Amino acid sequence: MGNVIGKKNLRDFVFFLVLETFAMFVAFLVAIARLRQGGPTPGPFTMTYITMFLVFDGAVLFPVGMLTGAQVHQALRNITTNELANAHRYHYLRDADGKFRNPFDRGMANNARAFLRGVENEAAVQRETVVNMREMEGALRGSDEAV
C-alpha cells in the first residue's frame, strides 16, 4: 500500500487484502494441480520447487486470510482495530453496565453499504467528528456540555 492504514484508505486496504488472498489461493490451487499432473518428464527439481512453493504460499496464505477475515468483519461491524484493541479504555464503547457496546454499529447491511460507498462529504464528517469529540470530552469530565 505504501502508506499507513487510516480513514482515507481503509477501503483500499481491505480490497487489497481480498484480492491478495484470492490471488494466493488461486496460486495454491494451481500448484496443487501441477503437482498432481506431474507431466511426461518433469525436471529433477520441479516437484521439489512446487512443494516448496506450496509450503511457503500456505504459510503466508493462512495469516493473510485471517487478517482479511478480521478486516472484513470489522468493516461489517463498523469498528476499527484500534477501538477493538482499546475498548477497555474508551468509555463510549461501554454501556452503563460496563459491557462492550459499539454505538456506531448500524447493522451489517448498512455498515457494508456505508463501507463500500465511502465518505461522500469529508467536511461534514470532520464537523461531526469534532462535535462528537467535544461531547465525549464533556462526558469524560462528567459534565453535560452541549456544543
The pLDDT tens digits for 108-143 are 999 999 888 876 555 565 566 666 666 666 666 665
The angle at the Cα of 34, spanning 28 to 38, to the nearest 5 degrees, equals 150
Rounded to two decimals, the pTM is 0.70
Grid coordinates given for 118: 465511502
What is d(CA 125, CA 128) in angstroms, rounded to the nearest whole number?
5
| Bridge partners of residue 100, in order along the sequence | 94
For residues 51 and 64, is the Cβ–Cβ distance under 8 A? no
Distance in Å from the first CA to the final CA of the chain: 38
What are the structural domain ranges in the chain?
Answer: 1-77
Strand partners, 94: 100
Calpha distance 118→141 (Å, rounded): 33
Q: Which residue has the higher pLDDT, 96 or 55?
A: 55
**Residue positions counted in the chain:** 147
In the prediction, which pLDDT does 140 show? 64
DSSP assignment, residue 95? -
Mean per-residue pLDDT for 86-101?
86
